[in-house]
Amino acid sequence: MSDTDILDAVDRFLEREVRPHVARMEHDDVWPEAIVEGMATLGLFGATISPEHGGLGLSAETYARVVERVARVWMSLAGIFNSHLIAAAAVERFGTEAQRRAFLPDMASGAKRGGLALTEPDCGTDLQAIRMRAQRDGNRGYVLNGTKTWISNGLHGQVFAVLVKTDPAAHPVHRGMSLFLLEKGEGFAAGRKFEKLGYKGIDSAELIFENHRAGVDRLIGGVEGKGLAQTLAALELGRINVAARGVGVAQAALDEAIRYSQIRKTFGKPICEHQAIQLKLADMATRTEAGRLLTESAARAYDRGGRTSLETSMAKLFASEAAVENSLDAMRVHGGYGYSKEFPVERLYRDAPLLVIGEGTSEVQRMVIARQLIERNPV
């Protein structure tokens, strides 16, 4: 199947199976089980996993286009397979051959879904401050204790890449951090679900580990102390996803504003003929296209290989901020109706802020960009 065929299939699925149900399911915060199964059938849970392991093997550039299309209709859906694919990327890039054979086929088919578990109650951006511990128990493997929080797919996922400390006394700290691939079972269960302003449908929940035992075969790559580097590398794909989501939300807000501006009349003419509205539409369109171009550039850099933190951070920063600005401008174009649940713009306005927080805040992206600029341009 060509990339064009895949994109066309995604478009048909979204129009037939998603768009008619978004308003009801989003406002009721309903887990979209049938839609998730449809995404699995389309192969989206294996979008970037290699065909060798049962995935579609999409390039990051094509994957970004898929994500943009999904986010234009319902942004939450892109989050369901994003976190899952970040975990899969960590396994495929850094796991042992046995780990790839054991997990990737089921992850690609969607038979086992999950995500990435990083955040803890006292730790968000500063990953080196995590407290969750994996303690070696002789030849029996590891015993894990701790809590992860705000984990996407936490309730409905089965398998998670979990960042822990295997040596809390290590210096520098990252040498004591390791990444495990763990399945729910004895000593590992979901906790409470968090209620959110937006980003409905996808569950964000706690993961609780109480003396959970894991064999040494669950340590990704089989070597301790590589977890932070593995996580940061896998998050580059996550930033492309969030950037593409930002473009999708920005485009959806623009689409709604263009449509409404042509049917709403004031002072005897459609509001799109008023200069004040024209200026907003022009700015919204320019932001959207700039975000799209940055995202495509970052995806191409990812496809070429090597470190892409500069490119992915720039794309994520700009596109996510564009989504926030466009969602507010779309609401202003709609006036009072933009504040009503009758129109999609109020959902876009609630969803967009997640994008400037998730996968690293805009402030963190700016710091990453600045550091990379200095590193790449030494005096």
| CA angle, 357 then 279 then 264, to 5° | 95
Which residues, 6 or more positions from 259, have their beta carbon under 8 angstroms from its beta carbon? none
Q: At what angle do helices 60-94 and 275-304 cross, to 10 degrees?
A: 40
> Is 195 part of the annotated catalytic residue set?
no
Closest CA to 35 of 58, 65, 59, 15: 15
Which of 68, 183, 359, 375 is labelled catalytic? 359
Q: Are 75 and 351 in contact (CB under 8 A)?
A: yes
Q: Are 70 and 85 in contact (CB under 8 A)?
A: no
Where would I find the H helices in 264-308? 275-304
- DSSP characters for 124-191? SS-GGG---EEEE-GGG-EEEEEEEEEEETTTT--EEEEEEES-TT-SSGGGGEEEEEEESBTTEEEE
Query: Cα dihedral sign for 184, 106, 77, 227?
Result: positive
Q: How many residues does the chain have?
A: 379
CA–CA distance, 231 with 124 (Å, rounded to integer): 14
Which residues are designated catalytic?
Answer: 359
